[in-house]
Amino acid sequence: MNIRAITLAIVISFSVLASGCAVNQVDTLADFHQSRPKSILIVPVVNKSTDVMASTSVLSTLPRQLGEKGYYVFPVNTVKSLLEFEGLTDPQEVHNVPPTELSALFHADSILYVTIHSWTSVYVVLATNTIVDFEYRLVAADGTVLWSDRENLSYSPQSSSGGSLFGDLIVMALESAIERASPNYLPLTRQANQNVFWNSRQPFPPGPYALDYTTYYQAVAVDYPGSLEQ
């Protein structure tokens, strides 16, 4: 076999492999795409930090993000009140209730569970580092996990140099003290939500009220033939 024939064989082999890879793409959001939830029930947030206000702060930032994605979001305060009326006052207890029961109670297509793993400020040598760590999980009414993600962000005040070492140290100490006394949690929380719901790493599909809903699922049908069949 001459060199030309060998080269041709290699090119053909790579072409076959490439086409095979293209055909056999795996839809990592197949369950989500088949379910296509229209509404999302956000249940109270489980808080594993020591800040008692963390769960309320996180819960208040979620509806807007999901509404902008094109989903109907049940009013979180109404949901919380109804759950308490049913005797479910502890968020962890709510998370332990079977999804079928929660969805039946509100007639929801899906349920969003959020857990706060970290919500703290750490002081280290004239600097305060504020850290948040959230875990997200969207579950269908039948208990199927449709999507999940986790986001860890940190923030530390950055001061511009004034030319004086002593002056800069004073400014750093003051900014660190202010951040430690009143940590900048909400901007970090909003950024974490933005990152998980709008990122390209593990995209959260648009809901039925989003302008790109139809074009998104048309693209899914092309990229993953048969993935929308149930």
pTM of the model: 0.78
- Average per-residue pLDDT for the chain: 81
The count of other CB atoms within 10 Å of the CB of residue 18 is 10
Task: Give me the amino acid identity at 124.
Answer: V
Angle at 77 between CA 150 and CA 199, to 5 degrees: 25
45-102: pLDDT as tens digits: 999 998 888 999 999 999 999 999 999 999 999 999 999 999 999 999 999 999 999 9
| 156/183 Cα distance (integer angstroms) | 10
Joined tokens for residue 87: 């005797």
Angle at 38 between CA 35 and CA 42, to 5 degrees: 100
Domains of the chain: 26-154+185-211 (3.40.50.10610)
Instruction: For the chain, list residues with pLDDT below 70.
Output: 1-24, 121-128, 156-184, 200, 227, 229-230
